[in-house]
Structure formats: structure tokens, C-alpha cells
Amino acid sequence: MNIPILSSLIFLPTIGAIFIFFSRSKNEKYNSSKYVALFITIANFFLSIYLWLIFDQSTSDFQFVETREWIPGFINYKVGVDGISILFIILTTFITPICVVSVNKTIKSRLKDFLISILLLETLMIGVFCSLDLVIFYLFFEGGLIPMFLIIGIWGGERRVYSAFKFFLFTLLGSVLMLVAIISIYWLTGTTDVEKLYEIGIDAKYQNLLWLAFFSSFAVKTPMWPVHTWLPDAHVEAPTAGSVILAAILLKMAGYGFIRFSIGLFPLGSEYFVPLVFILSLIAIIYTSLVALMQEDMKKLIAYSSVAHMGFVTLGIFTLTQQGLEGSIFQMVSHGLVSAALFLCVGVVYERMHTRLIKDYGGLVSIMPKYAIVFMIFALGSLSLPGTSGFIGEFLILMGAFKKNFLVATVASVGVILGAAYILWLYKRVIFGKIKNQEVTKMLDLNKYEILILWSLAVPIIFFGFYPEPLINTMEVSINNLIDMYNSNLSNNIVMSK
Amino acid sequence: MNIDLNLILPEIFLSLSIMSLLMIGVFKKNSSNLIFNLSILTLFILAALILNLSSVNKILIFNNSYVIDDVANFMKILTAISAIFVLSISTDFLKSLKIYQIEYPILILCSILGMMVMISSNDLIVFYIGLELQSLALYVLAAFNRDNVLSSESGLKYFVLSALSSGLLLYGCSLIYGFTGSTNFNEIANNTNQVPYGLTFGIVFILVGLAFKISAVPFHMWAPDVYQGSPTSVTLFFALVPKIAATCVFIRFLYVPFVNMIEQWQMIIIFISIASMIFGAVAAIGQKNLKRLIAYSSIGHMGYSLAGIATGSSEGAQSTIIYITIYVIMNLALFCCLFMLKRNNEYFENIEDLSGLSKNHPILSLSLLIILFSLAGIPPLAGFFAKFYIFMAVIEQSMFFLAIIGLLSTVVAAFYYLRIIKIIYFDPSKEKYDSNHSLGLRISLIVSTIFLVFYFTYPNSLLGIISKINII
């Protein structure tokens, strides 16, 4: 089969964006371009599902690899997927059409430009998860800054300029060091091809420094404490669709980067810095959960909860156990769905009331019963109740953590309790209680679009909560291989140093 | 002495054209249009003639004082082509300022002749002649709008400071001659096996003079004032064309006569490079005038291009050539946008004037967006690759300090580019600008913007040509 399926996945949204760019509709509502975008993103989703169906789960090799000469003798355009990246690709293609549908009311002006940005962003995000060359990865990883900067800056809230700048400069600052590391790797090994680098390995004495350089980029993007401060600002000011993409996918690029590059390329560096990651993750889990408790703004609360959940993810990744890694990936997918849904839920009431403050709401259950039900599902997903996908992820992560370090796991478990506290308290204050604000009584319940969007997120959350097999099976072999590679690297090095 | 005059046919052709154009211009009334068109034609023919020489390998003529090689040919073609763009996009501007005169293109041609001599020089004296020829033309150009106080001031300022730097350069040249006994670059290289202090002083003086010409920190003070004061079309010329020649001369000086003295000059270049990168990034933040901002941003960009030379490797020099090429294209595009900010024959050059541009002029704002992100070095635009090649070369020599400082200052620089984008896209809109621009302006903008966007699809287009260039 010679169809370049990955390249089609990557560049189909770009083609859509170009099409929308050149289609001049005089119509102020720009309806047609919305349908084009929807069509393209849904087509891309089905394409990725097809990819999943023909994906061979029994091997850990990269599949559907495409290699083209890009800069001769130096960098190849190389893409491919394994059991880890394919899940993120499906997550991306699943979330993007939801964003496109959700722009229905939220984006008042310049819808066409917004759709172009979203489509370009989809190209870049899929590119990040597919690329098997460090330079290509960097291009996609950094390129995402431009559309996201515009999404926050043009369509955002009041402090959008500040947030957009903060988002852009923080992330750029983190990733320039990664660029230095990538170039250094090229001069050390003569290649930037990830597969080859897995085979060759990187000289032990440089691994710690290179690990730190990559870490600086991924830690900002994850975001880990103490460089997480851009995230609440960006989330609060971004339009709903922007928040959804940011929480559901952009944050996952860093988690993916940790697994693919930090662990894969620098096993010794990873081993050396495990305590650092543990400490930062624990601080993120406990501290940001406490901060989330104190928030008055709903979006900010969910943003801080994202930081806490990503703390679990980094913790799970660096337990470097089968369970921890599987849990982390599961948690990332699950958090992608849950946080996207929570931001959409906030968007729903924000459209009606134009306020995000918790104290302006209360007693929604009698006014908007349908809304109360879906919000409940997502809140429970967020606190990882058994039966939701969040539970599987956090449970596996904690299992991995107990294997590695009892104390760390115990502290992290406290975070689970705090996580339940802030989300349930939010739910209580918004949905239950007496109606204090008379405006609330005028609110309408979910319309059919919103029902469609929210339930399409709720179904997989419950489905994977009861039946995690499809995800676990897909990633299992690749993770096994990663762990084997990691352990053999470590033992080799111990032998060599003796 | 049998010299094949074919080898300097481009220079001969250019000199003859300048003289005949001057004659035509003087004797024929109202011939500005004709002279402009003929000058552009001359430059086209010039580029073709140089291209014709590109099969020649390295040849030294006139007692080894003049060199024709790949670097020289590439840089000359780049000079000629960017001058074509400069002339063709600035006609509207000159007309509206009522300085659409025959002297303008002729002065530009004169300075290009000077640059060609500079680029090809292999001897201190030849180099100095070329330098002075181009500088004299530039002094006049800076003060070309003579009824405007700012323009006269910038011309005078440029003249005084440039004369000072030329003086230093000449002093450096004489020191070099005194300690090596020759003005020929190759012989200087042979006589520098041991380095007396005087020779080091000579190098320092020459580097100071050259750093002045490309406005690198700490010899940058003239640039913001001259950029702001000169007519915009002259600023455009200043920002692009002399930088090409000066960079080439930098490469030639450091890689030919001083090649054995890398220990003496490397630290100096690294310092100048780092200082320019940081200063350019920090000082541009507070600017309100676009031309001033461009001046500071070009100071920063010169810092990056020097970083490539500072490696002392031929990859470094190649990366500098790539950088300067992409820099020229980016700035050309930026100035095209500047020329489009026109309303009722009045040009606007404050950053505030861009406020909300995206509402009324979506295409122009999109181009500006691409250009500014490219200047900031965000992938996948061409500006990123320019920096990427530079840092490839820098890290190859394990100069991590330089690389990290350079990349961190791109983050600072990104801030002021973002600020302009913010003003264009996030701020409330103002009155509409005119949209009847000349065809040359539109084509230049579209071509250069498309290059910036699509460079990543085929990076070998530029890299393939430049990697074949033999530096030494």
C-alpha cells in the first residue's frame, strides 16, 4: 500500500485551510467555510480511525513510515507512528471537529480566520505526534505557537494581549534550549533521525545536559510547577475552542515529548533526574490542587486542575514502569477528553451569562437539568471515579508509583482527594444550592449542538472507563519495548562503568 | 601582464553605464523616468554578466589585487538583485516626496560599483577605494531630501561618523602594512606567522571600521538616527545593500589575510556579535518609530550574522551568507509594507499607525504577520532557517555560550515583533490607507512573502547554491 496515509493526515487540514483562505464569501456569517472546516476535520478523524484499524498492534516498530529527502545529506522528512503516538493522533483528530462545531456562537468576528488557525494548528499537532526526526519535530512543535498566539490574542477575553504574550514568550524561552540540544545531538551523532538515535544511543556524559535542555521545553509546555503560570492566564483569556485545544492537545505534546525523547533518547539522564521530576510533580499535584480550591473563576479552576492532572502524568512517566507509563498515556487521553469537556461546559454557561465567576451561578440543576447531568459525568471523570476513564489512568499511575517509591505514591494519593474536593465543590456551588442570581432563571438548557458535542465526549469517557482494553492493547507492545530499551541501556552503562 | 578583461566586464559595464546615464540625464529634460528604467535594466544586465562569470573558479587578477570567486559572484548578484528591488519599489515614494530625480538611481549605481570593488578586493588599497566610492554615494543619498532637516542631519551625521570610521580603518590598514610589509591579502596571510602587538592593533582598527559599516554594537550609534532621518527609500537601501558588501568584506578579511590570527580576532567578533544581539533586542523594545525599530532590529540581525563568521569555519561563513540573503529578503518585504502605509500622499512610519490594520487591509496585515514572525525566527518561516544554520555552525565549534545567548536574545527580540503584531491584529482599527499601489511594489511584496512562507518546503533551494561556495 503506497498511499502516504500519515502525510495525508498531517496536510489535509492545511489543504482545508488554504481552501477556506481563498474562498471569498461575501456572506457575513461565513457559513460555508464552517462546513468546509467541519468536513475536513471529520474526514481526518475517519482517516485516523482507519489508521488505527489497520495498525498492527503486535509490533513495537514504527509503522507507516515515510521518508523523504528534505535537506540532502542532513535532514529527512520522516514520519511514522507506533502504539504511543497513534493514540494522540486520534485524540487530536477527535477534538478538532468538536472545536469547529463549538465555534457556532462563541466566535463573533472573523470566523474564517479562526477556522484557518484551527486547521493549521491541527496540521502542526498531528505533525508533532508523527515526526520521527528531531528537527521536523521542532518545526511542528514551535510552529504551533503562531496560530495559538493569534487564537488567544484576537478572539480572547479582556486581558488577552497579556496572556497571549505570556504564552508565547514562556514557551519560546523553553524551547530555544531544546533547539541547542537538537543541534548538539546532530553534531554528536551525525543524525537527527529518532529511530537511528534509538539504536546508536547518546554518549553518557552528555545525557544529563541534553535531558535538561529538552526538559526546559517540555516542562514549560506540560506545564510543570513553577513554570505553569502562563497556563491559567492563557486558559482564562482564550476563547472556548482555544482552551479546549490547549488543554486537550497542546499540553499532551509535552507529555508525549517526555516519553518519546526524554526517556527514549536519554535513559541515563532520565534516571538521574527522576527525583527532580518527582518533587516537581508532587508540588504540582498538591500545590495547584490547593490553589484550584481557592479560585473564583471557573476556567481558572479547571486550568489549575489541568496542572495538577499533568503532574500525575509526569509522575507516571518517570516511574519508568509499565503501569506508570500506560497510566500516564491513558491519563493524557482521558484528561484530553475531560478537560475539553469541562471547558466546553464553562463555555456553555458563559455564553448565556457572560460571567465565569462561580458566585454568579448556583441552583442550575432546576433550570438546566440536561446540563447538570453531563457536567456531573465530567466532574466525576475529572476526580477519577471508578467507571470513568480518569480512574484507570490515575490508578495505573499510582500503581507504578507505589512500585517505585512508597512515599511519593502516598503524597500523590492525597492529591486525588484534593482533586475530588475542588471539582465537587465547584459542582456544588454552580449546580446545586439556591438560586441567588435572578439572571440564572432566564438561562436556557442545552441546545442540540451542545448536547451533541458534550455527549460525544461523555460517551468515550464512560466507555474507556469500563473497557480500557482498546487503548491499553494499542500501546502495550510499544511501551514494553521502550521499558526494555531503557533498562538495557541502564544495565549496559553500569557494566561499562564497572 | 595579460589580463583577461572579460573577468571584470561587469565592473566595466557598470562604470560605462553610470557615465552614459549621467550624460543622458543631464542633457535630456525630464528624464527621471527614463533614467530609472535604464538603471534597472543596467542592473539586470549586470546580474546577467556576473552570472555568466560563475563558471570561473577562483582567479586573481591585477597583481593578485582583485579576486573573482564564488563568494564574490554570489554576493554581487545578491547586491544587484536587491538593488533592482530597491529601485522598483521606491519610485512611488520618491515621486510623492518630489525627489524623483536622475541623481538618485545614478548614486545608487555608483555605490553599487563601490560595493562590487569591495567584494572583489584582495588588497587593502583596492578595498579602501571601493569602500570610499560606496560611502561617498551613501552620504549624498542620506541627505537626498535636502529640504528636510532630519534628512540633512542624518546625512551630516553619517558623513562625520563614517569618515571617522574610515580614518580608523585606514590607520589599521597602514599598521598592517607596516608590520607585514604588504597590502596584498595573501601575502599578509603568509607574513602573520608571528603576531606582534602592532598587528593586533591593526586588526582591531580594521574590525572597528567594518563593524561601523554594518552598524554592529558598540559602533551602532549612527544607525537609528540615519535610518529615521533619511527618506524611507534610502533607509531601505541602507538596511539591505551595504550590509551585503560589508558582510562579504568581513568574511574575506577574516578568512584570507587574518586567517592565521583567529585567536586574536575570534574573541572580538564573539563580543561584537553577542553585544549586537542583546542590544538590538533590548533597545528595540521601547521604539515608537518603525524605521528606528528596523534600525535596532538590523543591529540584532547583524549580531547573528557575525556569530556565523565568529566560528572561523567555512560552514560558519556559509551560514552567514545564507543569513544575510534571508535577512535581505525579509527586510525587503518589510519595507514594501512600509511603503504601503500611505494616505493622501503622506507616508506613515509610526508603529501606532499600524493599529488595527487587519480589519481594513487583511492581505497586507497577513504579509506583515508572516514577515514579523519570520524576523523573530519562528518556524517554519524562512527566518528560522537563517538562525538555524547559524546555530548549526556555532554549535559545531562547541561555542555553546554564544549559541545560548543568541537564542535567548531571540526570545527577547520576539517580544517587540509580537508587539507590532499585537498592534496590527488586536488593537482597534483606524482610518483606511490608500490601496492603489504600484505593480512593482505589490509583486515585490508577494514574491518575498511567498518565499518566506514556502522556503521550508524546499530549503535546498538556497542551501544547495551556497553550500557549493568555496569560502577560502
Task: Please give the pLDDT value at position B301.
Answer: 92
pLDDT tens figures, A102-122: 876 667 777 888 888 889 999
Residues of B in contact with A179 (CB under 8 A): 388, 391, 407
Residues of A in contact with B402 (CB under 8 A): none
pLDDT band at B272 (very low <50, low <70, confident <90, very high): very high
B468 touches chain A (CB under 8 A): no
Who among A153, A177, A183 is closest to B425 (CB)?
A: A153
Does the structure show a pLDDT above 60 at A213?
Answer: yes
Cα–Cα distance measured from residue A372 to residue A445, given in angstroms and rounded to the nearest whole number: 9
Cα–Cα distance measured from residue A251 to residue A350, given in angstroms and rounded to the nearest whole number: 23
Chain A residues near any Cβ of chain B (below 8 Å): 70-72, 138-139, 142-143, 145-146, 149-150, 153-154, 160-161, 164-165, 168-169, 172-173, 176-177, 179-180, 183-184, 186-187
Of B227, B414, B418, B236, the closest CA to residue B332 belongs to: B236
Cα–Cα distance measured from residue A230 to residue A161, given in angstroms and rounded to the nearest whole number: 12
Of B167, B138, B131, the closest CA to residue B154 belongs to: B138
Task: Give A18→chain B minimum CA distance, Å.
Answer: 13
Residues 6+ apart with CB under 8 A from B330: B371, B374, B375, B382, B383, B448, B452
- Note whether B425 contacts A154, CB cutoff 8 Å: yes
Task: Please give the pLDDT value at position B109.
Answer: 93
Cα–Cα distance measured from residue A327 to residue A332, given in angstroms and rounded to the nearest whole number: 8
B160 touches chain A (CB under 8 A): no
pLDDT tens figures, B12-49: 999 999 999 999 988 988 888 889 999 999 999 999 99
Average pLDDT of the residues of chain A: 86
pLDDT tens figures, A432-448: 878 777 777 777 888 88
Who among A142, A160, A173 is closest to B379 (CB)?
A: A142
A376-406: buried (b, 16+ CB within 10 Å) or exposed (e) per residue? ebbbbbbbbeeebbbbbbbbbbbbbbbebbe
Task: Give A470→chain B minimum CA distance, Å.
Answer: 35
Task: Give B420→chain A minimum CA distance, Å.
Answer: 12
Of A183, A179, A145, the closest CA to residue A164 belongs to: A145
Mean pLDDT over residues B258-269, rounded?
Answer: 86
Q: Taking CA A67 as the corner, what is the angle to CA A64 and CA A7, rounded to the nearest 5 degrees?
A: 60
Q: Give the nearest chain A residue to B395 (CA atoms).
A: A184
Ordered DSSP codes for A429-455: HHHSS----GGGGG-----HHHHHHHH
Query: Which carries the bigger pLDDT value, residue A491 or residue B163?
Result: B163
Task: Please give the pLDDT value at position A227.
Answer: 86
Query: Which cell numbers in the block locate residue B212?
Result: 561601523
- Note whether B415 contacts A160, CB cutoff 8 Å: no
Which of B361, B381, B391 to mutate: most A Cβ within 10 Å? B391
Residues of B in contact with A177 (CB under 8 A): 404, 407
- Note whether B395 contacts A173, CB cutoff 8 Å: no
Query: Taking the mean position of all CA atoms in its chain, how far away is CA A488?
Result: 30
Q: Grid coordinates 561556495 are at which residue? A: B469
Cα–Cα distance measured from residue B231 to residue B68, given in angstroms and rounded to the nearest whole number: 34
Is A41 within 8 Å of A244 (Cβ atoms)?
no
Mean pLDDT over residues A437-463, rounded?
Answer: 84
φ and ψ at B401, to 5 degrees? -60, -50
Task: Please give the pLDDT value at position A27.
Answer: 58
Mean pLDDT over residues A4-19, rounded?
Answer: 86
Mean pLDDT over residues B136-149, rounded?
Answer: 87
Task: Give A187→chain B minimum CA distance, Å.
Answer: 6
Task: Please give the pLDDT value at position B436.
Answer: 80
Lowest mean pLDDT among A111-115, A184-188, B72-76: A111-115
Cα–Cα distance measured from residue A38 to residue B160, given in angstroms and rounded to the nearest whole number: 63
- Note whether A186 contacts B392, CB cutoff 8 Å: yes
Lowest mean pLDDT among A17-26, B411-420, B449-458: A17-26
Q: What is the DSSP letter of A263?
A: I
pLDDT band at B142 (very low <50, low <70, confident <90, very high): confident
Who among B391, B415, B459 is closest to A179 (CB)?
A: B391
Task: Please give the pLDDT value at position A497.
Answer: 67
Task: Please give the pLDDT value at position A29.
Answer: 56
Of A174, A167, A175, A157, the closest CA to residue A239 belongs to: A157
Who among B379, B391, B425 is closest to A183 (CB)?
A: B391
- Note whether B407 contacts A177, CB cutoff 8 Å: yes
Does the structure show a pLDDT above 60 at A160?
Answer: yes
Residues 6+ apart with CB under 8 A from B371: B330, B333, B334, B337, B449, B452
Task: Please give the pLDDT value at position A498.
Answer: 61
Residues 329-388 (B) with a CB less than 8 A from some CB of A: 373, 378-380, 384, 388
Residues of A in contact with B373 (CB under 8 A): 146
pLDDT band at A25 (very low <50, low <70, confident <90, very high): low
- Amino acid sitting at position A336: G
- Note whether B391 contacts A172, CB cutoff 8 Å: no
Query: Which carries the bigger pLDDT value, residue A394 or residue A444?
Result: A394
Task: Please give the pLDDT value at position B276.
Answer: 93
The phi-psi region of residue B408 (left if phi > 0; otherwise alpha if psi is between -120 and 50; otherwise beta) is: alpha
- Amino acid sitting at position A98: I
Mean pLDDT over residues A266-281, rounded?
Answer: 89
Task: Please give the pLDDT value at position B430.
Answer: 81
Percentage of the residues of chain B whose pLDDT score is greater than 70: 99
Task: Please give the pLDDT value at position A31.
Answer: 66
Which of A151, A172, A209 to mutate: most B Cβ within 10 Å? A172
Task: Give B392→chain A minimum CA distance, Å.
Answer: 6
pLDDT band at A242 (very low <50, low <70, confident <90, very high): confident
Does the structure show a pLDDT above 60 at A87?
Answer: yes
Q: Grid coordinates 491584529 are at which residue? A: B425
Query: Which carries the bigger pLDDT value, residue A276 or residue B435?
Result: A276
Q: What is the 3-state secondary structure (H, E, C) of chain B?
A: CCCCHHHHHHHHHHHHHHHHHHHHHHHCCCCHHHHHHHHHHHHHHHHHHHHHHCCCCCEEECCCCEEECHHHHHHHHHHHHHHHHHHHHHHHHHHHCCCCCCHHHHHHHHHHHHHHHHHHECEHHHHHHHHHHHHHHHHHHHCCCCCCHHHHHHHHHHHHHHHHHHHHHHHHHHHHHHHHCCCEHHHHHHCCCCCCHHHHHHHHHHHHHHHHHCCCCCCCCHHHHHHHHCCHHHHHHHHHHHHHHHHHHHHHHHHCCCHHHHHHHHHHHHHHHHHHHHHHHHHHHHCCEHHHHHHHHHHHHHHHHHHHHHCCCHHHHHHHHHHHHHHHHHHHHHHHHHHHCEECCEECCEHHHHCCHHHHCHHHHHHHHHHHHHHHCCCCCHHHHHHHHHHHHHHHCCCHHHHHHHHHHHHHHHHHHHHHHHHHHCCCCCCCCCCCCCHHHHHHHHHHHHHHHHHHHCCHHHHHHHHCCCCC
Q: Give the nearest chain A residue to B416 (CA atoms).
A: A165
Task: Please give the pLDDT value at position B130.
Answer: 93
Alpha-carbon separation of residue B345 from B100, B351, B435 (angstroms): 14, 18, 12
Query: Which carries the bigger pLDDT value, residue A158 or residue B406?
Result: B406
pLDDT band at A452 (very low <50, low <70, confident <90, very high): confident
pLDDT tens figures, A346-363: 888 888 888 888 888 877
Does the structure show a pLDDT above 60 at B370?
Answer: yes
Alpha-carbon separation of residue A320 from A200, A202, A403, B95, B465 (angstroms): 21, 19, 10, 70, 47
Task: Please give the pLDDT value at position B129.
Answer: 92
Task: Please give the pLDDT value at position A385.
Answer: 86
Average pLDDT of the residues of chain B: 88
pLDDT band at A240 (very low <50, low <70, confident <90, very high): confident
Percentage of the residues of chain A whose pLDDT score is greater than 90: 12
pLDDT tens figures, B347-357: 888 888 888 88
> pTM here?
0.91
Task: Please give the pLDDT value at position B300.
Answer: 92
Who among B400, B414, B426 is closest to A160 (CB)?
A: B426
- Note whether A165 contacts B426, CB cutoff 8 Å: no
pLDDT tens figures, B213-260: 888 888 888 888 888 888 888 899 988 899 999 999 989 888 888 888
Query: In this structure, is the dihedral angle defined by the CA atoms of residues B75, B78, B82 and B84, taken in order, positive or negative?
Result: positive
B460 touches chain A (CB under 8 A): yes
Mean pLDDT over residues B247-275, rounded?
Answer: 88
Task: Please give the pLDDT value at position A237.
Answer: 86
Task: Please give the pLDDT value at position B303.
Answer: 92
> Between chain A and chain B, how many beta carbons pairs sit less than 8 Å apart?
76
